[in-house]
Structure 1
C-alpha cells in the first residue's frame, strides 16, 4: 500500500515491530541501514507488548523500560539504542509533523486569505450579510453602472476587449462601413431598366412632337426611380444598428451582478431600454427615408462631379464613330442624290428598310398594290425591332448621365446615412438613456417590487456567510 501512494519512498517511515522475537544471531540491521528497501525517512525498530502482557495488564511504563533495556543490551542495536524504541518514534513523528506544518502553513494562510477575499466580494454583490440596503440607492447605483458600461462598450473603452471577434461599437462600425457600404455600391441602375425601356421613355417624354435633342425628362424619370431603390438598404441599416444595440443590452444585463440579485429589476430594465430604442427608431427611420426622398425629389444637374450633357454626347459620338467602318467613295460616273438636288436632299422615294422616327415600333409589312397607305395603330404599341443608330446614341447618352448622377447619389447616401443613424439613434441613446431609466425606474411606488430578491440569492447568501465563518475560524 505504501508503494502505491509513495513509490519513491520519500514520505514513508518504516516501523519494525517484534524485533525481540527474532532468533538469536539474527537482526534487522540491513533493513535499518536501508540496504533492503531504502526509505528517505528511515526505519525505527520498536518492541510492543505481547498478548500475555496485555492479558496481565502490564503497565506501559514497565513495557517502555523493558523495550529500552532490550535495545541497550542487544549486541546488534546497543550502539544505536538512542535511535530505537517507541519514545524515539514519537519524537521523530512529532518533528516531521512540525516541519510539515511550518512548510505548508504560509501557503494555507495565503489560500485562506484568497478565499476570504473571494467570498467577501461575492457577499457584497449579494447585498451583505443581512441583505439590507436602501432601495433608492440600489436603483441609482444600477442605473449609473449600466449607463456607464453602455457608453464604454459603444466607444470601445472597455477593459474586456475581445481578441477573437468584434464587439460593441466595432460591430456598429462594421454595419456602416462594410454591410451598408457594399450593399449600396452593389446596386446597378440598369439591372432593372433595359435599353428598350429607356427608348420607350424617351419617346413618351417627347410627347406629340419628336425631339431634336436628347430630352432631360427621360433622364430624370429613370434616375429618380433608381434613387428610390436606395431607401430599402438605408432602412435595413437602421434595423441592423438597432439589433446591435439590443445585443449590447443583453450583454450588459448578463454582466452586471445586481441583475442576478434582482430579477424583477432586470426584466424592467430590459423592457424600458427596448422601448426607448424603439421610440428612437421612428425619427431615425424617417430621417433616413427623407434623405433618400430629398435626393429623388430634386436632381441637381449642376453638381460639380456630374458629367454634363455636352460631354456625354461628345463621348458617345466619339465612341460610335470609332466603331463605324470608314465610308466608301462612290464609283466613277455615279452621282449621289445630294449632287442631283444641288446639295439638297429632296429625295422622297421610299427606300427599302429605311428607319423612321418610330421605325422600331412597327415591323415593315408588305403593302398590297392599290391598298390603303395608312392603317390604324394597334391598341398597345411596343418596340419590336432593334435600336436604330439614333436610338442607340440617345440611349447611351441617357445611360451615361444616369450612371454619373447615380454614383454621386450613392456616394452621398453612403456618407450621410451612417451620420444620421449615429445622431438620432446611437448618440441619442448614449446621451438620454440614463434620463429615461431614472424617469421610469426611480419611483418610490415601484421600488419594492423591483428589488425583490430571487430564492437563489437568498440561499447563496446563507452559504457564503457560513463559508466566511469557517474561513475566519481557520485563520485564527
Structure 2
C-alpha cells in the first residue's frame, strides 16, 4: 500500500506534466536534488538507480529539470519472462509514450537530445522538465527531481546571469512546501560554504524538510571525518545526513561498474574506524531506503490536502471554462439578444443599488451619482458668493445708474434685479459641470460592466457596445444640458419678490437701521455728562432729498458726486468743464449710500439663497429625468436598434485570440485535474 502511494503521486505528476512547471496547479510531494556542479549529484542518482544513464561532461550538464520516477518491478514481470534480462530494466520518457529503452546509454542520448531541443547547444537552461520513468527490480519506488547544478561563473556561450537563472529555477521547485530538499555537498569542503545547503536554508530555515547527502567522504584528509556533521553538531537538519561514496572521474573513465562501486562503498564504511559502528546508516542503499520512507510518510501526511485542493482547483477552472464558453450558446442572434438583455439588466441593477456584489469598501453605481448631487453640486452652489465679484462701490454705481436722471426716492427695484440676474447667471457653470460629472459616472458603470468575461471573449462586440452606449449618453447630454440651462434661465427671467421666503424691503430697511443705530457712538449731555437718548434716525430719510451738488465732501448729500468735485478747486468748478469720457465714483460711501447698499445686499442675499435652494433641488431632478432615467428606459431599445442586425452578428461574435488560447489552456487544466481527481478518488 505504501508503494502504491508513491505510484499515485507519480501518476499525478504525469497528469500534470503537459501543463509545464509554471502552470502546475497542485504542489505534489517530491524530492528535489540540489547542489553545486562539483558536489556529485549525478553520481548519487546513478548509484541509487544502479545504472549509468545521466549525461557527463564539463560545465552545466543538467540543463533542464529531470523528473526521475523509479518504479520497483520484480524480475520477470516486464514481459512475462524471467530469463530475458534486458527487459527487466528499462526506461520510458513521457514525451515518447510507448517507447521502451533497455539500453541505458540510449537513455542518456535521449536526455541530451531532448535538452538540446529546448536549450540549444550553447549551454542554456530551461524550466521545462524531462519526465523519465525507470522500471527495475533493483530500485525502490521513489521520485526525485534532478535540478541544474549551482554555478557562479558562466562558461562558453552561457548567459552572463547564469547564476541568477539557475538559482531562480531551483527556488521555484524547493520553495514549494511539499518539496523534500536533498542537499548534496562534498564532504571534503567546508559545510558552511555548501551552495546546496545555503539555498535550502533560505526556504527551509528550520531544516524540517531538508536531508543532507555528504559525498566524497573517502577523499577527506587523513584523520578527519564527518561524525560531528552526522550528529547534528554543525548544521543540524531534522531529516539528518547520509554519507555516501561515489565513483571518481577515473573510475568512470575506466568503466568501473556501479555494482563494484557500491561494494567498495559498503567495505569503506564497515572498515572505517569512524563509521563502522554506524555503517548500516551510511551508503547509497540506506539513502535510497530513507528517501523511500520519507517520501511515503510525506505523501501520507499531505494526500488529504492534495485531494481537497484538486477538487477546489477543478471547480475553479470549470467555472472559468463555463465563463469562457464553449461555442454552444446558440445562434448568433440569440447570443446578441442575451448579451444586450443582461447588459441592460446589470446597468439598471448597479444604478438602483440592487447588485448582489455591493462593496463595503467604496461607493459605487447610483451611490456615486447621489454623492455628486448632494455633496459636490450642493456644496458647489452654496459656495457661490454674490459679493465676491460685486463690491459696495459697484452697488452704489448701479444704484445711481438705475435711477437715471432723477435721483431715486427709495432703493430702486431695477438695481436689485440687475445685480440678482447677473449673479444668477453664475450658476450656469456649476450646473453644467454637474451634468458632466453624472455623465462620467454613467461611463464608469459602463466600464465596470464591460470587465465581465463575456466581453473579453468578444472584443468586437465589446468595442461596438461601448461605442453605441457612449454615443447614446452623449446624445442624451444635449436635452439634459438644455433643460439645466433653462432652469437657470427661468430663475433669472422672473425675479419673484413675492416669494414667501423673500425678505421684504421694509424689513431689510429696519434691520439696517438697527445695525447702524447700534454702531453710532452715544451722545453725551455736556452739562450732566450723561448719555442723551437719541430719537431713532431713519437712514433712508436722506434718500427722499435730492442730492445738492454744491455741498462739500462729507456733507449730508452723499459722497458719489462729492468725490468727483473734491479734486477740483472753485475756479474750475465755476468753469463747469464737461465730465470725462469715463466717469467713475470714488471715495468713501456716505451714511445714506452705506444704508442703501446694505439694504440692497440684504435683499440680494435673501433672494440668492432662494435660488440656491431651488437649483439644488431642481437640477438633479432634471439630470435624473433626461439622462439617468432616460438611459435606463431607452438603453435596451438603442442597443437592439444598433446591434441586433443580421449582417453584423458574425463580426460581433468573433472571438479574440486570447480567449481562444485561454480556453485551450483552461480545458487542458480541467482535463488534467479531472484525471488527477480520478487518480486520488480511490486512495484512502
Deviation at 1:203, TM superposition (A): 2.0
Pairing of 1:248-287 with structure 2 (within 5 A): 248-253=445-450, 255-287=451-483
Structure-1 separation of matches of 2:598 and 2:470: 50
Residue aligned with 1:136, SS: helix
Residue 242 in structure 1 maps to residue 439 in structure 2? yes
Residue aligned with 2:570, SS: coil
Structure-2 separation of matches of 1:435 and 1:369: 80
Look up the match of 1:367.
570
Contact 2:352 2:366 in 1 (8 A): yes
Residue aligned with 2:320, SS: helix
Structure-2 separation of matches of 1:300 and 1:267: 50
Deviation at 1:367, TM superposition (A): 3.2
TM-score by length of 1: 0.74
Deviation at 1:102, TM superposition (A): 4.7
Residue aligned with 1:313, SS: helix
1:446 pairs with one of 648, 655, 659? 648
Pairing of 1:214-363 with structure 2 (within 5 A): 214-253=411-450, 255-326=451-522, 353=552, 354=555, 356=557, 359-360=561-562, 362-363=564-565
Structure 2: gaps spanning 5 or more residues: 1-183, 186-190, 202-206, 214-226, 243-283, 528-547, 680-684
2:307 pairs with one of 109, 116, 125? 109
Residue aligned with 2:658, SS: helix
Look up the match of 1:466.
668
1:389 pairs with one of 585, 591, 604? 591
Look up the match of 2:147.
none
Residue aligned with 2:648, SS: helix
Distance 1:368 1:458, change over 3 A: closer
Structure-2 separation of matches of 1:368 and 1:42: 120
TM-score by length of 2: 0.53
Q: Deviations for 1:356-391, whole angstroms, at most 9, x for unmatched residues? A: 47634631443349966x554444433244322222
Residue 170 in structure 1 maps to residue 339 in structure 2? no
Contact 2:372 2:438 in 1 (8 A): yes
Pairing of 1:45-56 with structure 2 (within 5 A): none
Structure-1 separation of matches of 2:647 and 2:335: 15
Structure 1: gaps spanning 5 or more residues: 15-29, 45-85, 332-348
Contact 1:202 1:215 in 2 (8 A): yes
Structure-2 separation of matches of 1:175 and 1:35: 69
Greater shift after overlay, 388-397 or 235-244? Answer: 388-397
1:456 pairs with one of 650, 658, 661? 658
2:321 pairs with one of 123, 143, 146? 123
Structure-1 separation of matches of 2:446 and 2:393: 52
Contact 1:156 1:170 in 2 (8 A): yes
Deviation at 1:105, TM superposition (A): 3.5
Larger Rg, first or second structure (1 or 2): 1
Deviation at 1:437, TM superposition (A): 1.6
Structure-2 separation of matches of 1:124 and 1:104: 30
Look up the match of 2:353.
156
Structure-2 separation of matches of 1:464 and 1:370: 99
Deviation at 1:120, TM superposition (A): 1.8
Distance 1:441 1:214, change over 3 A: same
Structure-2 separation of matches of 1:39 and 1:410: 78
Deviation at 1:143, TM superposition (A): 2.1
State the number of aligned residues: 439
Distance 1:320 1:458, change over 3 A: same
Structure-2 separation of matches of 1:227 and 1:89: 92
Deviation at 1:149, TM superposition (A): 2.6
Deviation at 1:124, TM superposition (A): 1.8
Look up the match of 1:190.
387
Q: Greater share of helix residues, 1 or 2?
A: 1
Deviation at 1:161, TM superposition (A): 0.7
Look up the match of 2:635.
433
Q: Greater share of strand residues, 1 or 2?
A: 2
Contact 1:146 1:256 in 2 (8 A): no
Instruction: Tell me the C-alpha RMSD between the 2 structures.
Output: 5.0
Structure-1 separation of matches of 2:400 and 2:615: 31
Distance 1:361 1:204, change over 3 A: farther
Query: Which structure would you say has the larger RCO, counting Cα contacts within 8 Å and 6 or more residues apart?
Result: 1
Structure-2 separation of matches of 1:219 and 1:119: 72
Distance 1:325 1:107, change over 3 A: closer
Residue aligned with 1:299, SS: coil
Q: Deviations for 1:35-54, whole angstroms, at most 9, x for unmatched residues? A: 9999999999xxxxxxxxxx
Distance 1:11 1:220, change over 3 A: closer
Look up the match of 1:67.
none
